[in-house]
Chain A
Amino acid sequence: MELHESHHGKVLVIAPQGRLDSTTAPVFEKQLMERLATCSHLVLDFSALDFLSSAGLRLLLMAAKQIGKDEGRLILCQVSQPIREVLEISGFLGLMEVVDTRAQALEAMPS
Chain B
Amino acid sequence: MNARNTLLYVTAPVNALVEGLYRQDTTIADILARGDFGLGTFNDLDGEMVVMDSQVYQLRSDGNAYEVPDETRTPFACITFFRPYSVEEIDQPLDYPGLLALFDRLLPSKNMLYALRLDGRFDYVRTRSVPRQDAYRPLVEVAREQPEFEFTDIEGSMVGFWTPGFMQSVAVPGYHLHFLTADKRHGGHLLECRPRQIRISLQHIARLELGLPLTLDYLTADLDRDTSADLKEAEH
Contact = CB atoms under 8 A, between A and B. Distances in A.
Given A54-B202, A57-B108, 16 more contacts: A22-B90, A53-B88, A53-B106, A54-B85, A54-B86, A54-B107, A54-B108, A58-B108, A86-B85, A88-B2, A89-B1, A90-B204, A91-B2, A91-B4, A91-B204, A92-B108
A1 interface: no
B3 A53 contact: no
A53 B3 CA distance: 15
Q: Which of B90, B106, B109, B204 has the most CB of A within 10 A?
A: B106
A100 B151 CA distance: 51
Interface in A82-106: 85-86, 88-92
Given A54-B202, A55-B88, A22 B2 contact: no
16 contacts: A22-B106, A25-B105, A26-B105, A53-B88, A54-B106, A54-B108, A57-B86, A58-B109, A61-B108, A86-B85, A86-B86, A90-B3, A90-B85, A90-B86, A90-B108, A90-B204
Interface in B88-142: 88, 90, 102, 105-109
> Secondary structure at chain B's binding surface: helix, strand, loop or mixed?
mixed
Given A54-B86, A57-B108, A22 B102 contact: yes
Interface in A33-62: 53-55, 57-58, 60-61
B3 A91 contact: yes
Interface of B: 1-4, 83, 85-88, 90, 102, 105-109, 202, 204, 206
Nearest to A52: B86
Given A89-B85, A90-B204, A55 B3 contact: no
Nearest to A91: B3
A26 B101 CA distance: 12
B2 A89 contact: yes
Interface residues of A, number: 18
A35 B88 CA distance: 27
A67 to B, nearest CB: 16
A61 B204 CA distance: 14
Contacts of B106: 22, 53-55, 58
Contacts of B108: 54, 57-58, 60-61, 90, 92
Nearest to B85: A89
A67 B225 CA distance: 42
A75 B206 CA distance: 24
A25 to B, nearest CB: 6
Nearest to B112: A91
B107 A22 contact: no
Please give me the 3 A-B residue pairs with the lowest Cβ-Cβ distance, nearest first: A91-B3, A54-B86, A89-B85
A86 B202 CA distance: 12
A58 to B, nearest CB: 4
A85 B83 CA distance: 13
B113 to A, nearest CB: 12
A72 to B, nearest CB: 20
| Residue with the greatest number of chain A CB neighbours at <10 A, chosen from B1, B83, B85 | B85
A54 B206 CA distance: 15
Contacts of B204: 90-91
A59 B194 CA distance: 26
